[in-house]
Structure 1
Amino acid sequence: MMNKKWWSGVLTAAMVIGLLSGCGGAKENAAQGDSAQGGGKTNLRLYTYGTEEAYNWKKTIQAYEEATPGVTIELVQLSEKGDTQEAFKKLDLEAASSAQMDILMFSDPAGYAQRVALGMAEPLDDFIAKDGYSVETDYKVDTRLDGKVYALPGKFNPWYVLLNKDHLEEAGLPVPTDWTWDEYADYAKKLTQGEGASKRYGTYFHGPQGGGWLEFLKLMMANQPQDTDYLKADGSSNLDNPTFRQTLELRVRMEKEDQSSVPYTDMISQKLNYRTQFFNQSASMITIGSWMNTEIGGTDKVPLDFNVAVAPFPKNEAGDPTGLTPVTTDYVAVAAKSKHKEEAYKFVRWYTTEGQIVQGKNIPAWQQVKTEQVEEIIDTILSATKSPEKVDKKSLVDTLVASKASAIVPPAPYQAEVYEAVNEEYEKLILGNQDIDQTIANSQERVNKIIESNKK
């Protein structure tokens, strides 16, 4: 359940901000928005953190306006540098003011769930029923919260495994197209070479660290259809899930027994980065998000001196469904206070389907996108890198097409505290100060205390 104290604090802050901002720019914005309704045109205001460079807005909006006479889309960019934190702060200010808002973009499940709880987004279920499709079958990301749809997913950035193809060939290993974590560990062992400072590791895990990058302790939890986080959808702890123990066992085995993954102490003390670990060939494989598509062909800063292949996020058991992986997306919503909800919904539906192909910057979450369309988008993305010819394009396209997201677990407002506690207990484990049983027991106890203290 959401923390009542936290929400009332947010609402109070939003109201205070609303009173302050109502005096100035927001009124002007509202006036501008309303005046644009004249002349038979409907003007929709689209609030986004997405920059022109990353989202191709001019081309995308122009295509929609040409296809939809009578509608204009006014872009409200919330951060010039695409900073999602800055964008959320400005979005909350605008929501608390009298500004006209029609279409909203949220960058992560936590931001989406929190703003739905504040009543900022309109439920889309009636529009969807009228159009005759369902989110689960039409998109690769299930955006439902408490059984209702408040946004449709735009881009689709699944996690995957980047591999040094030259190292694979040396070791006589094929590029995996469907594999398990045991096979991943086996590959890492076979790819590890040398000793000491010049040792080349089979893999590098970029977390957890400082309460962040907790994906790396959910490796075997994150590829399940449900319950893919440390808390369940009902807010209770999920740490008794066997996949949490299995992930701890995998991490300990790979670092301590196989000595095939970069030691945690090195990551922390040397402030290592996954990009340099992979591109400097210090590690042969990294598990990471496909935001790396724009960099895997090499950049000016980080050139590519070897051939790269891509494999899907591994499964726990050979019989598990292929392709389930952590995914980042854009949650595109209709503002609850929009006076043009039908027109706003039509734009949201177009943008998250054909609009994604027009935009040509990301792989769409839309299921109907064809493999050849994904190939065209990948060609465009790779052509902007330094050495696109060194990327095994087929393995990249096949992996992206096969990937799909698990159900969202709506994040709790105290998620950061949970992450910190789990991170600290893992640190004790990997530094040899407690065993796995103790780590699970301590994590469970601490997380239950956090949940209890937030119920008041």
Structure 2
Amino acid sequence: MVKRKGWSGAIAGVLLLSLLAGCGGNNSNNSTNGGANTDAGKATNGAAAGNTEKTNLRLYTYGTEEAYNWKHTLEAYEAANPGVTIELVQLSEKGDTQEAFKKLDLEAASSAPMDILMFSDAAGYAQRIALGMAEPLDEYIAKDGFKVEEDYKVDTHLDGKVYALPGKFNPWYVLLNKDNLDEAGLAVPTDWTWDDFADYAQKLTKGEGAEKRYGAYFHGPQAGGWMEFLKLKMENQPQNSEFLKADGTSDLDDPNFKATLELRMRMEKEDKSSVPYSDMISQKLAYRTQFFNQSASMILIGSWMNTEIGGTEKVPLNFNVAVAPFPKNNAADEKGLTPVTTDYVSVAAKSKNKEAAYKFVRWYTTEGQLVQGKNIPAWSKVTSDQVEGIIDTILAGTKNPEKVDKKSLVDTLVASKASAIIPPATYQAEVYKAINEEYEKMILGDQDVDTTIKNSQDRVNKIIAANKK
């Protein structure tokens, strides 16, 4: 069972919780004051002047205006629901989810009024459910007469209960500098393996020193986040794509975990075709900058980048871009299996307007995703036939959509599918942090692959044992 702690414990958990996975962003927008003492935050929910029933809902999010089209989306909801206002509380001007998690935890601990919460990853979602931050939605869902696992492409159950509905459906893919591919005489891959990926990276690497262009850039792991980059050969499998199995035991003896470590070591240390991990950490490199500044020809990233793939005011596109599917381990493996990220949209446990908040959550994760027009929805009613139209709308919002190989993007998205989802453990952040620390020792030259696996297994097993008590 999920162990639910009181709100007073949230501050003590802030430092740990801030280590959770997140997708850092470089977009900048003016943020709404997140404090509990804003005038809007003090708005009375109930009978207002003229006996008109008014409800103000506070939506806490890391999503920026540029990436989420909030103004248009919330105005559409308010127009269809007279008397309801949605107050947007943006927790990071850059869309940085780690910064947003820190601020969200502080807001929760200070008893700020909250109604709707957005979590950016499964581990962050699970951790905050353990803190008692979100309301179970099962009764509301039963009244609406649907099943999450049938109505959505992402199953959000935790310990048999649903605490969030999924918003976007963002499979991971590979962004490629098509100009660099053409220069090297390489075709845009439509079905490839990790060996192919490493071979491409070698052929795309060019130059030396400060002017060197690397074939590939991996944006993780770092600080217990971006752990997708340590599961590369596990995530494209139908089952057991996580460090923990569904029964809660360690999956670090999976040969694909070792193969991932070996791939990272080979590309950085032998081929010298991937940006050094030490550079990423010491220089605080950003994946957008690495790709759009043409410091790296290929990046593995989530399809939240669809809104930026054609270039933006802040990050212009000066070359042609193509998209390839997440690589497979072997040529005969099933095509399209890839990590999938989503927004976990919840009703705050302490909301005084839970029914109204749930109504918004259900709308936002269904029709609202189409209104927002920024992402492929996790709502299963949106068919693959509609993907191209959604992509046209998304690319039209970028500066240079003509520089994007739309066919490669649409084909990749249509073919993408998630492996079996393993509900995250409430202590998953501890597991991530431990594995991340052991990886750093390896990649920085302090231990070999086998020692890294053994130490990771020992530490993870201790974490599992401690949380069973």
TM range, smaller chain: 0.7 to 0.9
% identity of equivalent residues: 69
Query: 2:60 matched to 1:48?
Result: yes
Give 3-state SS (helix, strand or coil) of 1:244's partner. helix
C-alpha distance 92-404 of structure 1, shift in aligned 2 (>3 A): farther
- Is 393-402 or 346-355 further displaced after alignment? 393-402
| Pair 244,27 (structure 1): closer, same or farther in 2 beyond 3 Å | same
CA distance in 1, matches of 2:372, 2:307: 15
Residue 341 of structure 1 deviates from its aligned partner by 4.9
Match of 1:322 among 318, 335, 338: 335
Distance in 1 of aligned mates of 2:360 and 2:305: 28
Aligned residue number for residue 75 of structure 1: 87
Equivalent residues of 1:78, 1:90 under 8 A apart: no
Q: How much has 1:288 moved relative to structure 2? A: 1.6
Structure 1 stretch displaced more, 103-112 or 77-86: 77-86
115-124 vs 36-45, which moves further: 36-45
1:403 to 395, 413, 416: 416
Residue 130 to residue 444, structure 1, CA distance change in 2 (3 Å): same
2:447 matches 1:434: yes
Deviations 1:192-248 (A, max 9, x none): 345565544321222234444332111122233444333345543221122211211
Partner of 1:297: 310
Query: How far, CA to CA, are the matches of 2:77 and 2:351 in structure 1?
Result: 19
- Counterpart residue type for residue 85 of structure 1: F
Which amino acid counterpart does residue 246 of structure 1 have in structure 2? A
CA shift for structure 1 position 34: 2.5
Distance 1:111 1:427, change over 3 A: closer
Measure how far apart 1:139 and its partner are: 1.9
* Aligned equivalent of 1:218: 231
Contact 2:202 2:273 in 1 (8 A): yes
The 3-state SS of whatever aligns with 1:75 is strand
Q: Helix, strand or coil for the counterpart of 2:73? A: helix
Q: Decide whether aligned partners of structure 1 residues 124 and 327 sit closer, same or farther in structure 2, where only a CA change above 3 A counts.
A: same
How far has the Cα of 1:444 moved from its partner? 1.1
Aligned to 2:400: 387
For 1:434, what is the secondary structure of its paired residue?
A: coil
8 Å Cα contact 1:232-1:409 kept in structure 2:
no
Deviates more, 1:230-239 or 1:355-364: 230-239
Say whether the 8 Å CA contact 1:65–1:72 is kept in structure 2: yes
| Residue of 129, 138, 162 corresponding to 2:151 | 138
Q: Is the Cα–Cα contact under 8 Å of residues 229 and 409 in structure 1 kept in the other structure?
A: no
Between 190-199 and 203-212, the greater mean CA deviation after superposition: 190-199
Unaligned stretches of 5+ residues in structure 2? 13-35
The alpha-carbon distance between structure 1 residues 295 and 337, as it changes in their structure 2 partners (threshold 3 A), is closer
Pick aligned residue for 2:108 from 88, 92, 97: 92
Equivalent of 1:306, from 281, 301, 319? 319
Question: SS of the counterpart of 1:47?
Answer: strand
1:200 touches 1:282 (CA, 8 Å); kept in 2? yes
Q: 1:242 to 1:130 in 2, by over 3 A?
A: farther
Q: Cα distance 1:121–1:167, how it changes in 2: closer, same or farther (>3 A)?
A: same
Equivalent positions of 1:214-363 (< 5 A) are 214-268=227-281, 271-336=284-349, 341-363=354-376
When residues 58 and 39 of structure 1 are mapped into structure 2, their CA distance, relative to the original with a 3 A threshold, is farther
Structure-1 separation of matches of 2:435 and 2:207: 33
Q: Which amino acid aligns with 1:204?
A: Y
Stretch deviating more after TM superposition (315-324 or 151-160): 315-324
- On the 8 A contact 2:123/2:428 being kept in 1, the answer is no
Partner AA of 1:288 in structure 2:
I
Q: Distance in 1 between matches of 2:282 and 2:10?
A: 39
Aligned to 2:202: 189
Which of 426, 435, 454 is equivalent to 1:412?
426
Shift of 1:153: 0.8
Larger CA Rg, structure 1 vs 2: 1
Report if the CA contact (8 A) 1:60-1:355 is conserved: yes
8 Å CA contact retained: 2:427, 2:467: no
Cα offsets for 1:411-436 (capped at 9, x unmatched): 43462x43343233223333444332
Between 350-359 and 391-400, the greater mean CA deviation after superposition: 391-400
Match of 2:19 in 1: none
2 CA distance for matches of 1:447 and 1:201?
33
Moved more, 348-357 or 384-393: 384-393
**Contact 2:205 2:213 (C-alpha < 8 Å) held by counterparts:** yes
> Relative to 1, partners in 2 of residues 1:44 and 1:29: Cα closer, same or farther, differing over 3 Å?
closer
Distance in 2, matches of 1:431 and 1:140, equals 38
Classify 1:419/1:188 alpha carbon distance in 2 versus 1 (closer, same or farther; 3 Å): same
Q: Specify the SS of the correspondent of 2:46.
A: helix
Deviation at 1:438, TM superposition (A): 1.7
Shift of 1:350: 1.9
Q: CA separation of 1:404/1:11 partners in 2, compared to 1, >3 Å: closer, same or farther? A: farther
Distance in 2 between the 1:169 and 1:287 partners? Answer: 19
Identify the residue that residue 23 of structure 2 maps to in structure 1.
Answer: none
- Displacement of 1:8 in angstroms is 4.5
Deviations 1:300-342 (A, max 9, x none): 5543332110112223344444333333322122344556655
SS of 1:365's partner is coil
- What amino acid is aligned across from residue 254 of structure 1 in structure 2? M
Q: Which residue of 1 aligns with 2:438?
A: 425
Superposition RMSD in Å: 3.6
Does the residue aligned with 1:32 lie in a helix, a strand or coil?
coil
Following superposition, the deviation at residue 143 of structure 1 comes to: 1.1
Q: Distance in 2 between matches of 1:264 and 1:84?
A: 25
Aligned equivalent of 2:28 = none
Superposition deviation, residue 134 in structure 1:
2.9
Q: Distance in 2 between matches of 1:25 and 1:268?
A: 37
Q: Which runs of 5+ in 1 are unaligned?
A: 16-23
Please tell me whether residue 61 in structure 1 is matched to residue 71 in structure 2. no
Given the superposition, is the C-alpha separation of residues 146 and 210 from structure 1 closer, same or farther in structure 2, using an over 3 Å criterion?
closer
Deviation of 1:393 after TM superposition, in Å, equals 1.8
